[in-house]
Amino acid sequence: MKLKINLLVLLLSGFFTASAQNWGGGVDDDDIHFGFTFQYVGSEYKILKTADWRAPFFDPELGPDSFTLRSVSSKSSPGFGIGFVVNKRISENADLRFTPVLVFNDRILSYQYTNPNMDVEKKTSATMVEFPLGFKLKSDRRNNFRAYVIGGGKYSVDISSKKKSNNDLVTDPAEKLVNNKRSFLSYEAGLGFDLYFEYFKMSPEIKLSYSLNSVLKDEPLHRYSTPIDKLMLRHVTFSLFFE
């Protein structure tokens, strides 16, 4: 009998605990609610090269160059972001989300030449303020779990110092920078999961974004920008939302 009572108490405790956790602080019932996010960002370029990108670049100050490009590539480089969430409830299965975030990340271009001694990487460091607006479509909730997909667009602005990226101040042609536009638009899509706890919910999310237009800044050509027709920026973002 004592064993049965203990089992009953244990089951009731589990029931009430699950019920409490199932509530999630009531965040999904609010017309508007807020939260914050931490993000890991992987950035890389999609490079569209000019038709004669292999042709040696002629610099009037240096005379004819004897090197020839073998490849131009971009590898993913890490970054991180912090921001907050404004969530507008549309229905039981749909939300409108505004998630402004401050992002610190680098973007890297690698140049390989027929002469390996001339191989070089050009890094662009950016401090971005991003303003994503997305539509979140959610599945029905199952206890403490809900899956969702999200899609939308974002406007990005680089707030880092202009002086650090000013090619007019660079006298050595080999030190010229491949600068990016200070602002651009992107479209994005992703998926995630809402995990409900007693007083809040946590949402791991992965999202892909792609710039609508080239982010390459229009400026006088130099040996690193001449082979490039367009630079399209891609982000893979893993986020943790707390609401």
pLDDT tens digits, 105-148: 999 999 998 888 888 999 988 999 999 999 999 999 988 999 99
Residue 59: predicted pLDDT = 59
Number of independent structural domains in the chain: 1
Is the predicted pLDDT of residue 10 greater than 90, yes or no? no
Q: Judge whether 106 and 77 are in contact, CB under 8 Å.
A: yes
Q: Which of 46-55, 185-194, 211-220 has the highest mean pLDDT?
A: 185-194
Average pLDDT over all residues of the chain: 85
Higher pLDDT, 185 or 15: 185
Higher pLDDT, 220 or 173: 220
Give the 3-state secondary structure percentages of the chain, helix then strand then coil, rounded to 5.
15, 55, 30
User: Closest by alpha carbon to 37, among 120, 115, 123, 97?
Assistant: 97
Taking the C-alpha atoms of residue 135 and residue 123, their distance in angstroms, rounded to an integer, is 33
- The number of beta carbons lying within 10 Å of the beta carbon of residue 117 is 7
* CB contact set of 171 (below 8 Å; sequence gap of 6+): none
8: pLDDT confidence band, cut at 50, 70 and 90? very low
Q: What percent of the chain has pLDDT over 90?
A: 58
Alpha helices in 24-84 (DSSP H): none
Is the predicted pLDDT of residue 169 greater than 70, yes or no? no
Taking the C-alpha atoms of residue 70 and residue 88, their distance in angstroms, rounded to an integer, is 51
Residue 18: predicted pLDDT = 46
State mean pLDDT over 49-64.
71
By the 10 Å C-beta count (0-12 exposed, 13-18 middle, 19+ buried), 190 is classed as buried
Taking the C-alpha atoms of residue 141 and residue 154, their distance in angstroms, rounded to an integer, is 28
Beta bridge partners of 156: 130, 184
- The number of beta carbons lying within 10 Å of the beta carbon of residue 124 is 23
Residue 11: predicted pLDDT = 40
The token pair that represents 147 in the structure block? 């899956």
What's the farthest any 2 CA atoms get from each other in the chain? 98
Q: What element of type H or E holds 8?
A: helix 2-23
Range of the domain at 52: 2-242
pLDDT tens digits, 70-113: 899 999 999 999 999 999 999 999 999 999 999 999 999 999 98
CATH number of the structural domain spanning residue 64: 2.40.160.20
Q: What percent of the chain has pLDDT over 70?
A: 82
Radius of gyration over alpha carbons of the chain, in Å? Answer: 25
Q: What element of type H or E holds 140?
A: none
